[in-house]
A and B are shown apart, each in its own frame.
Chain A
């Protein structure tokens, strides 16, 4: 088996008496889409915070690309290649779509402590930005202020920003949250395209999307991973059905 790109090793996090992350171990293999699903209150958000460096776990390790990143801050993890998107879209509303992505490109390409040349005229950054925008189908919206984009476009923009950081792993936090049926369809098509080029850890509520996209699924319930397996295995797992999918299944 290939060396996992991301390995969570016995993560624990308590808030008072409540174990929000209760010994989570999980491996994301290079090239796969690994989905984490779980009912509300399963501890998905806290788990994401632990993976991205917003919350420090009480116990356990986060190993990314062979490196223990448990104590790394969010920016440092991103520089190591762990990009993320947010459940609630996070873009710089006053910047154009292009400038939003160019900001990520400049974080990747040389120092950002450069004081003299106008950043907007740096060809290399603009080209990298346009390439990422094209990848998510937003090339024709490059000059639109991010705040004026539709919800689905903002989602796609956030993906382009993440891509421009040249990630080794994309952590997508409910990328379909709040999207209408049409937008969902477009975003799933987009994620399907990205699937071949990127390793993705997908945390998502939408079961149809997860079953359509994921190679493997981990099911999180009350802070524990109760099952990990392929789509078929998870669908057929009686414990998962009982805990999450309901008796009649999906």
Chain B
């Protein structure tokens, strides 16, 4: 944990930023995006680095959570006490249904089947004409919290996102250290060994997959409220790929690497987009180089400095 000073410093910096003059609309929007993508990436890192399940459909659970907010909004349900459980629950149910099949496979097959389920969710969302179809859906307002417009408050929303990110990290770390997580970690390295002590990896992986999906749903709930807009793009495979990339850039071996990965990704993307029009031409190769030369990712770099 001593080597986790950098992500802790990042969280503290995010907490202090609005008090140090970075509380404007532009800055908080950027930070909210970082924190929400960070949550999604941490929950994906739990799957990839913890359970060895490299999902290429994680954005779908985020999108399902986001769409739950939009669909309830369209029907006039805007109370967080009802919207949040539905968003998290819908993402969990989606993960349960798709995971029950996907987890029977492994390796490249698992990647492809999660990609396929993600695309199914994407095209389903695109065809929801009542909720904007391809064009997406603009929320009437942010979700209310016990009847108040708490989430409309820029600062309050900022700290809710920060709290949710810290909570996601803490929960994932707790899960990985538990008996349950020990089975997941052992099965990642050697599934046969786990079977030979009398445990079937499948059920543990499925529960892990559902938990990660539920956390993705929480990120989706916040994402919909951050942008006040939901579109199929939030479930696309490109978004899943970006999340997976954040995990790898940060280093899949450590949960908190995903926080660094998300931060680096958003900052680089934002900065490059300001520098030039065709920024993706530079962004792509930079990402490839980072993966090749940063073995163990950014978190590996930090950990090595600590010997």
Q: How far is the CA of A99 from the CA of B178 in the complex (A)?
A: 12
Residues of A with C-beta under 8 A to B193: 90-92, 100, 103, 161
Q: In the assembled complex, how far is the CB of residue A164 from the closest CB belonging to chain B, in whole angstroms?
A: 8
Q: Please tell me if the beta carbons of A103 and B194 are within 8 angstroms of each other in the complex.
A: yes
Q: How far is the CA of A94 from the CA of B221 in the complex (A)?
A: 36
Known A-B contacts A92-B186, A92-B189; A84 and B196 likewise in contact (beta carbons under 8 Å): yes
Q: Please tell me if the beta carbons of B182 and A103 are within 8 angstroms of each other in the complex.
A: yes
Residues of B with C-beta under 8 A to A106: 179, 182-183
Q: Please tell me if the beta carbons of A115 and B178 are within 8 angstroms of each other in the complex.
A: yes
Q: Mark A92-125, 1 if CB is under 8 A from B, else 0.
A: 1111000110111011100111111111101000
Q: In the assembled complex, how far is the CB of residue B178 from the closest CB belonging to chain A, in whole angstroms?
A: 5
Q: Please tell me if the beta carbons of B180 and A113 are within 8 angstroms of each other in the complex.
A: yes
**How many residues belonging to A are interface residues under a CB distance threshold of 8 Å?**
38
When the two chains form the complex, which single residue of B185, B190, B207 contacts A91, counting CB atoms closer than 8 Å?
B190
Q: Please tell me if the beta carbons of B199 and A75 are within 8 angstroms of each other in the complex.
A: yes
When the two chains form the complex, which single residue of B174, B175, B198 contacts A78, counting CB atoms closer than 8 Å?
B198
Q: Please tell me if the beta carbons of B178 and A116 are within 8 angstroms of each other in the complex.
A: yes
Q: Please tell me if the beta carbons of B204 and A112 are within 8 angstroms of each other in the complex.
A: yes
Known A-B contacts A103-B197, A161-B197, A165-B198; A112 and B190 likewise in contact (beta carbons under 8 Å): no
Q: Please tell me if the beta carbons of A119 and B196 are within 8 angstroms of each other in the complex.
A: no
B181 interfacial by beta-carbon distance below 8 Å: yes
Q: How far is the CA of A114 from the CA of B204 in the complex (A)?
A: 11
Q: How far is the CA of A111 from the CA of B199 in the complex (A)?
A: 10
Q: Give the nearest-CB partner of A99 in chain B.
A: B182
* Chain B contact residues, majority secondary structure: helix
Q: Which chain B residues (192-221) contact chain A, with CB distance < 8 Å?
A: 192-200, 204, 207
A86 interfacial by beta-carbon distance below 8 Å: yes
Residues of B with C-beta under 8 A to A116: 174, 178
A79 interfacial by beta-carbon distance below 8 Å: yes
Q: Give the nearest-CB partner of B178 in chain A.
A: A115
Q: Please tell me if the beta carbons of A75 and B178 are within 8 angstroms of each other in the complex.
A: no
Q: In the assembled complex, how far is the CB of residue B114 from the closest CB belonging to chain A, in whole angstroms?
A: 23
Residues of B with C-beta under 8 A to A91: 190, 193
Known A-B contacts A103-B182, A103-B197, A165-B198; A118 and B192 likewise in contact (beta carbons under 8 Å): no
Q: How far is the CA of A222 from the CA of B199 in the complex (A)?
A: 33
B146 interfacial by beta-carbon distance below 8 Å: no
Q: In the assembled complex, how far is the CB of residue A149 from the closest CB belonging to chain B, in whole angstroms?
A: 14
Q: In the assembled complex, how far is the CB of residue A184 from the closest CB belonging to chain B, in whole angstroms?
A: 23
Q: How far is the CA of A108 from the CA of B198 in the complex (A)?
A: 8
Mind listing 5 A-B residue pairs with CB under 8 Å? A86-B196, A118-B177, A161-B197, A164-B197, A165-B198
| 7 closest residue pairs by CB, A with B | A78-B198, A104-B197, A118-B177, A79-B198, A114-B179, A107-B197, A119-B182
* A interface residue numbers (CB < 8 A to B): 73-76, 78-79, 83-84, 86, 90-95, 99-100, 102-104, 106-108, 111-120, 122, 161-162, 164-165
